[in-house]
Amino acid sequence: MKTISELIDGDRIYGQFLVTVANKGVTSVGKSYLTITFQDATGTMDGKKWDVLPEDLETFAPGNIVNVQGEVLQYKDHLQMKVLSGEPILDSDGIDFTRFVPSAPVPKIELEKKLDAYLDSLQNEDVAKLTRHIIQKFRAKYVDWPAAVRNHHNFVSGLLYHSLTMADLAEKVCQIYPSLNRDVLIAGTLIHDIGKTVELSGPVATQFTLEGKLLGHISIMQAEVRMAAKELGMTGEIPVIMEHMVLSHHGIPEYGSPVMPLTREALALNMIDDMDAKMMILDKAYADVEPGGYTSKLFTMDERYFYKPLYTKEGK
């Protein structure tokens, strides 16, 4: 069975795919159809299901893994699937979801070892206690959740991978600028986005939860830091500093932060977070661009087109 990235014009398909989007439409003559986005670990493909039956709405509901029979066609310079039939997989036991959802480029077991190494490296007693307490509470989801629905690190273990990449950057930055408090900054990288385990539904067919839409991960995490400090009987400056790190890590109100960074560590956290997110966005955008070409317009990068230089090597 071919993966989505291997499919070519004219292929006939019978395989399993994850449904991420399904929208019902009506033709000019009043017939219903479905516009469906299918996904596996290698990419996505849009499809059309004509002559929609009532049961098709349940079969192709977002989040379902479906046995699909169809044909691949070229349409307006893009491949599209003409869906002939489909049946949902009702028993998901034993299914390897990494076949359908992209995963972090580093195995989860290695990411968890690195996380534990960073936790063990924290010397400040209050920082260490608070950070361990929070991560222990959310660890089961923290190690699997994506960091976003679509923009950056939107894959299995993307949240942990993003946080640890930031921790690696923070370690280097602290070596260059020793005036920074290393423990506070490392802890900030590890906990700043954990609220996304509540904001997002999970690694498969990721959507915003009710809490995510109404509260957002920044507000969620600020409340969790305060609750953790109360549960630990912790007072003083550190809990307040860590709340501030969470609240300000998006930098400005327009990007969701209710306060701007007002400590060196909070400012460094904001810049490191912004850099890692944007580098990942560019990596994704460049993936399908040949050297000498341009990306599509990137909404999250001020709607700029980015040039891929001729000196860029494959995969670099």
Whether residue 168 is found in the same domain as residue 264: yes
- Can you give the CATH number for the domain in which 243 is found? 1.10.3210
Give me the number of domains the chain comprises.
2
Whether residue 84 is found in the same domain as residue 110: no
290 lies in some domain:
no
Whether residue 116 is found in the same domain as residue 244: yes
Nearest Cα neighbor of 132 from 150, 116, 149 is 116
314 lies in some domain:
no
Q: Which residues contact 145 (CB under 8 A, 6 or more apart)?
A: 157, 158, 159, 160, 196, 197, 200, 202, 203
pLDDT for res 92: 60
Q: Which residue has the higher pLDDT, 91 or 209?
A: 209
Is the per-residue pLDDT at 133 higher than 90? yes
Six-digit token pair at 78? 């893009």
Q: What is the mean pLDDT of residues 168-186?
A: 98
Which string of b and e fits 295-316 if b means at least 16 CB within 10 Å?
beebeeeeeeebebeeeeeeee
pLDDT for res 316: 52
Is the per-residue pLDDT at 93 higher than 60? no
Confidence of residue 314 (pLDDT cuts 50, 70, 90): low
Mean pLDDT (the chain, rounded): 92
Whether residue 123 is found in the same domain as residue 215: yes
32 lies in some domain:
yes
230-241, pLDDT tens digit by residue?
999 999 999 999
Whether residue 121 is found in the same domain as residue 258: yes
Q: Are 19 and 88 in contact (CB under 8 A)?
A: no
Q: Percentage of residues in the chain with pLDDT exceeding 70?
A: 97
Six-digit token pair at 169? 């950057």
15 lies in some domain:
yes
pLDDT for res 152: 78
CA distance 92 to 240: 44
Domain boundary among 38, 55, 88: 88
Whether residue 255 is found in the same domain as residue 144: yes
Six-digit token pair at 59? 């079969």
DSSP single-letter state for residue 5 = G
- Can you give the CATH number for the domain in which 71 is found? 2.40.50.140
pTM higher than 0.85 for the full model? no
Confidence of residue 103 (pLDDT cuts 50, 70, 90): confident
Is the per-residue pLDDT at 97 higher than 60? yes
Q: Which residue has the higher pLDDT, 86 or 77?
A: 86
Q: Are strands 43-50 and 78-88 parallel, antiparallel or unpaired?
A: parallel
Confidence of residue 23 (pLDDT cuts 50, 70, 90): very high
DSSP single-letter state for residue 3 = -
Whether residue 137 is found in the same domain as residue 57: no
186-234, pLDDT tens digit by residue?
999 999 999 999 999 888 778 899 999 999 999 999 999 999 999 999 9
Q: Are 259 and 284 in contact (CB under 8 A)?
A: no
Q: Which residue has the higher pLDDT, 209 or 301?
A: 209
Map residue 70 onto helix, strand or coil. strand
Q: What is the mean pLDDT of residues 86-109?
A: 79
Confidence of residue 105 (pLDDT cuts 50, 70, 90): confident
Whether residue 188 is found in the same domain as residue 232: yes
273 lies in some domain:
yes
42-83, pLDDT tens digit by residue?
889 999 999 898 899 999 998 888 999 999 998 888 899 999
Whether residue 151 is found in the same domain as residue 265: yes
DSSP single-letter state for residue 178 = T
Write the single-letter amino acid at 125: E
Dihedral of the alpha carbons of 295, 296, 301, 302, in degrees to the nearest 10: 130
Query: 116 lies in which domain range?
Result: 103-283
35 lies in some domain:
yes
CA distance 16 to 183: 46
Whether residue 116 is found in the same domain as residue 74: no
244-292, pLDDT tens digit by residue?
999 999 999 998 999 999 999 999 999 999 999 999 999 988 988 999 9
Q: Which residue has the higher pLDDT, 107 or 229?
A: 229
Q: What is the mean pLDDT of residues 143-158?
A: 86
296 lies in some domain:
no
Q: What is the mean pLDDT of residues 130-147?
A: 95
pLDDT for res 94: 59
Burial-class residue 264 by CB neighbours within 10 Å (0-12, 13-18, 19+).
Answer: middle
Whether residue 157 is found in the same domain as residue 83: no
Six-digit token pair at 181? 């408090």
Six-digit token pair at 49? 């299901």
